[in-house]
Every structure is written in structure tokens, then in C-alpha cells.
Chains A and B, each alone.
Chain A
């Protein structure tokens, strides 16, 4: 069974204080690993897809990296508008119709 574990559950940062969110996964052959952002009261919004170990993707202050067992979402010099819940999900090669999500990390950035 595919599993995704995210840590920490919650992270409070000062504006400008860089940090990383972790996503550990177990999947029977990775098709893709996804990062989403979710604002309160809204549906998740896509950030990145990573396909194989060693891959990196960047968007503004966010960088996602992937190893064979985990993914990191690095946040550089965060701003208050980066406050949100960040969700990690995996898809297995055997079933592209199914995604398994972690419980998320809630990030709060204080000015």
C-alpha cells in the first residue's frame, strides 16, 4: 500500500527565515510525486511534479527536490503570503488514476 508521511505537522517561521518541509513516501514504483498548496477554505493548487530521484524544480521562493525515499520543499526567505498548508502526493506506475496524499504541513510566516 502506498504511504505518504509529511513532517513537521506545523511550522512557524519569521519572514525571511528559510526552512524545509519533508515528505517521506513508500510506493510500488513511482510514477510521479506532487506538491500542492492549499489556502484555508479552498481546494489544493498544484505547485510541482517530480518524476525521478535527483530531479529539482523551482518556482519563486520554493524549490522541490526528490530522492528515492523522500522529497523536500525548500522555502527560501519566505513572506507572509507563503502561509498555507502544503500537501505532498504520490502516484504509482501501476495505477495512474489514484493519488495518495500526506496529511500536510501548515506553514505560518510571521512578518
Chain B
């Protein structure tokens, strides 16, 4: 199993550009999430999904869109990049309902907006 994969690893955008960060998992996990991590801080939840076709907002959703058309993929779209979106973005997945399940994280995408 590849686990959780993210592309690209690094990206530089100009203010106002749009782009999509890709995330895929091959563990048949129901739940998937996107986080951002700023220097010296923990992870802040952007959007999450509890199954194909179901998404919801997290703590910091403004400026980002998501969709989940398949169990495997959960792309994150930046609509109009701003310098405040410079961060490291992590995608994570886990098993679903029942007890609390741990999350498996991808390697991250380092995004710089100039």
C-alpha cells in the first residue's frame, strides 16, 4: 500500500492564482481531512469528508474548496491564492464510524504564495 499520497510536494503561486492540491489514499478509508500547519503551530482543520459525496467545513475553510467524488481522492482547491495561505498542507485519512480511529497522514505540500 502507498498509504496517503499528496502532489505536488512543493508549489509557488502568485497572488490571485488558483490551483488544486491532490490527495489520494489506497486504504479504503471513509474519512479524509485537509489540514494546514504554520510554523511552530499544530494542525488546523480546513475541510473534511466522512464519505464520498459528503464534505464539511473545519476551523479555517475560507479561500478553499473541496469535493469528494470517490472514496480514494480528496482534492483541495485554492480559489484565489493569498500570501496568508503560505503554509504546509497535510491530507489525512482514517477508518470511519464506531470507535475513534487514528489518522494516517501524507507527506505534505509546501505552498508559498508571493
Chain A interface size, as a band, is 20 to 34
Q: How many B residues, CB 8 Å from partner? A: 30
Report A53 CB to chain B, min CB distance, Å: 15
- Bound CA span A99–B48, Å: 10
Q: How far is the CA of A49 from the CA of B98 in the complex (A)?
A: 14
Q: Verify A87–B49 contact, CB threshold 8 A.
A: no
Contacts of A49 in B (CB 8 A): 100-102
Is A97's beta carbon under 8 Å from chain B? yes
B33, B96, B99: residue with the most chain A Cβ atoms closer than 10 Å? B99
Tell whether, in the assembled complex, residue B33 and residue A51 are in contact, meaning their CB atoms are under 8 Å apart: no
A101 interface residue (CB < 8 Å to B): yes
Which B residues fall within an 8 A CB radius of A?
Answer: 4, 31, 33, 35, 40-45, 48-50, 56, 58-59, 90, 92, 96-97, 99-108
